[in-house]
């Protein structure tokens, strides 16, 4: 699936719920379904700064595509990561770097998060794009 299709799918999925409590419920379910990151990868350097809860993000290159795995000690945060992983994982580095992130506003994620969480969300996307940039640079070598 292309990154745009996945984003549209997510927007549709979240638009099924009118009530924000239900959207949260969905986010929590997504969080619970997130495959856990290997415990050995939960290190200080995989931690993303700017979150009130802890977030570990790990990236690997498989067949030219970036595969992200992540975990958090807070379940709603995990739900947010699950959304981001669905969009950004298994994509080419340049797709990730150039990806438009307006789907976040369309889902309404940012405005319904507390400011600290919204900051965390921005840091997560930034970190994912940074990984993509690093992998792209490696490929060019």
Partner 1 sequence: MSFDVQKIREDFPILKRKVNGHPLVYLDNAATSQKPQAVIDCMVDYYSNYNANIHRWVHTLSQEATDAYEVARKKIQNHFGIIHPEEVIFTSGTTHAINLVANGFSSILKKGDEVLVSAMEHHSNIVPWQMLCERTDATLKVIPMNETGELVMEDFEKLLSENTKLVFLNHVSNALGTINPIEEIINKAHKVGAAVLIDGAQSCAHIKPNLKALDVDFYVTSAHKMCGPTGVGILYGKKEWLEKLPPYQGGGEMIKEVTFEKTTYAGLPHKFEAGTPNIAGGIAFGVAIDYLNEIGFQEIATYEDGLLSYATSELLKIEGLKIYGTSKNKTSVISFNLDGIHPYDVGTIVDKLGIAVRTGHHCAQPIMDYYKIPGTVRASFSFYNTKEEVDKLVEAVKRAKMMLS
Looking at the DSSP bridge assignments, the partners of residue 85 are none
In the complex with partner 1, which residue's Cβ is closer, 99 or 104?
Answer: 104
Does residue 111 touch partner 1 according to CB under 8 A? no
24 in contact with partner 1 (CB under 8 A): yes
Total residues contacting partner 1 by CB under 8 A comes to 16
Residue 51 appears among annotated catalytic residues: yes
Q: Is 82 exposed, middle or buried (CB count within 10 Å of its CB: 0-12, 13-18, 19+)?
A: buried
- Residue with Cβ nearer partner 1 (114 or 139): 114
Q: Write out the two tokens for 104.
A: 């976040």
Element (H, E) at 59: strand 55-62
Contact, 130 vs 86, CB < 8 A? Answer: no
Asked if 20 interacts with partner 1 (CB under 8 A), we say yes
90 binds partner 1 (CB under 8 A): no
CB atoms within 10 A of CB 9: 14
Rounded least distance, CB 27 to partner 1, Å: 10
Q: Choose, from 3, 34, 48, 51, the residue flagged as catalytic.
A: 51
Single residue of 9, 11, 17, 28 touching partner 1 by CB under 8 A: 28
Pairwise CA distance, residues 54 & 72, whole Å: 5
35 CB-near residues (< 8 Å, 6+ apart): 69
For partner 1, the binding residues in 29-88 under the rule CB under 8 A are 52-54, 73-77
Active-site residue numbers? 51
Residues near partner 1, by CB under 8 A: 20-21, 24-25, 28, 52-54, 73-77, 113-114, 117
């Amino acid at each position: 699936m292309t990154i745009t299709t996945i984003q549209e799918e997510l927007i549709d999925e979240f638009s099924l719920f009118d009530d924000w409590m239900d959207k949260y419920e969905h986010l929590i379910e997504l969080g619970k379904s997130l495959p856990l990151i290997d415990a050995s990868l939960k290190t200080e350097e995989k931690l993303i700064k700017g979150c009130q809860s802890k977030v570990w993000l790990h990236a690997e290159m498989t067949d030219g595509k970036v595969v992200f795995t992540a975990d958090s000690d807070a379940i709603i945060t995990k739900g947010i990561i699950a959304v981001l992983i669905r969009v950004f994982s298994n994509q080419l580095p340049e797709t990730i770097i150039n990806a438009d992130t307006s789907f976040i506003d369309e889902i309404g994620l940012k405005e319904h998060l507390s400011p600290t969480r919204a900051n965390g969300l921005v840091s997560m996307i930034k970190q994912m794009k940074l990984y993509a940039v690093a992998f792209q640079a490696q490929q060019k070598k």
